[in-house]
Structure 1
């Protein structure tokens, strides 16, 4: 009895201690339980990239580092989406939403012109149709690529309803606008739109009206004027906010044009793309892109502009000269090599694509450029372009594309000011 009497109080005390401990653990688990992510201010965005992207975790692998960077970018976008900044957007017209959705990987992609959309179209062909199908159109022109219907074509509504994690594309508005100008106006690919800029009085509509040379400043002021008049901007230069609804989709990654290769690599790894497709896609980006894509670009220029040549608005040598200059601006041909006018002197219609491609490729091979050379030459061209743009026009661009600057983490500093190339 003495043993039993002395044992019970001790057992009771231990039981109370145990119960108190369990209760404490329960309370702590309830109080500090992570709150499930919820839409903020109507936004349906949810960060998909998680786990080792946490700041407190040691980032020891390349993939982990990329994952960490993507998590920060997506969370920053989410933070902007949760504010009222988008409600006061300077340009809030409904855009032309063009989405792809890979059925094989259930991944969405918002197609943004001047952000590598031709490459992404080929990538979706690889993902859903295989390498053989992609090889067949590798050297086709951009015009052919974008004019064809594809099995992965989708819609914003379909991507939202299927809750497909979505790849978002981004590019600094300054460089995106300059790229659109060089591609569509300097090379006359959208020459009919150029007729709207000088407000030419067309008295006889049966006559061919030749487009005038338009400066970059003219191009930017025309965009600002159309936007201020409530006109829908062409998707090649419309704000990305109006094309993708980035606050409504669920982003798996944000692929910046400035870090395209690294962001593409992370995206494919995050999707768990099989080795054969992964190697094909990465090699097509890092391999001989000039040889595979340049003839297609020249073919697009030829098909779009040949009417101007036939109507004596341009001659073939003029067109070759502009094409040469555009490739220098884009960093394919070194500025140290002047346009070889003698080699283009006898250029004629049937041989334009083949001859121009042949000459330009031979010059590229004779004067190879490093990645650093290419990067520096592009930056110099961009800086020079904005040096000729008025401060008033730059301020207008900053206001019109304010949300793109904020959502995708770009500085408002223009290319001709100190600090742009260090952002």
Structure 2
């Protein structure tokens, strides 16, 4: 599959304008009176890579990636209107021109206003860089921005002290920087009954319908689902889950495809005191590539060059341990399978990551991580690729507001299929971050 290299600086410049406009659209519904000042950081870092786009051996290009940006973190207190915003936005430039200048973002915002107990208006949005095609490495020329916005009202009734009826109506908008054929608008209507069985157990039934319109391809999707759900708190552990059935119908001109099956989710989280935690989650969804379901599933990337309808099966486990006041470790393992229904292709991923942090001195912290990922493409599992990555870093807090950082890392990919891309990358990064308020 060819690389999705962008065509010159004009494409990036227009994408920058679209990102900034998307950010305005995302944050506008959050306009509330902030009760406390926000935490605002400015930062700059430089990253050198000897293979910036993770090309095959013999065609590597080295470059310096310079990044300057702003970070914000804010959450309002309880009240009629509540809101939260957090993340970074940066301008990125490449010293030797291997890629075009761009705006990069990892930003989330949410908010709701509830003037009375029967009506609530909610909004949420995100701007994030995503992988364009999963059959190429995660590199600058294989990333694009995705802007997501969702907003709408909820109507709430209380038939009894233990029962709640909710009708949610939400408009969702998804826009991509380059893969505009995946831009979509959708209207989601959900009815929900929830019952409080005991102080620690609640559950109920829900039914929803989503009408999805792909703007460029004129493909229309209708997704219907019905499920039962529960939340149960038991000691230091909590269970949550849902089980139901989903139908997804895709119509594009004379072509009609139907996908249906059982869907659900089961998760367990446990906390041992202040130092140890663990979680496990299984999920099966019938969805489309412009949805935000990948935000809830670690290790999942949608292939934006594939068709819209996809069945996702995912399993994730993880644990964190605070060994001492100075040392902490975290481990996660995830497995995902994506079945693209119209094309009949399957992608499987198994990934794991271990990270460790240790405070060496009062103002100096060391960090290290190692990760492994195995990706398999196709039904016969012939195209199998293994990726190994490792990094070490130091964070030095010069003052209460000023932090300096340095890190070094390596990544390598090997493949079973002859002709598949194999690469090696070494990189080093230096950065500074200053808290304005």
| Normalised TM-score (structure 2) | 0.22
Larger-gyration structure (1/2) = 1
Tell me which protein shows more strand as a share of its residues: 2
Tell me which protein shows more helix as a share of its residues: 1
* Structure ranking higher on relative contact order (CA contacts 8 Å, 6+ apart): 1
| Normalised TM-score (structure 1) | 0.22
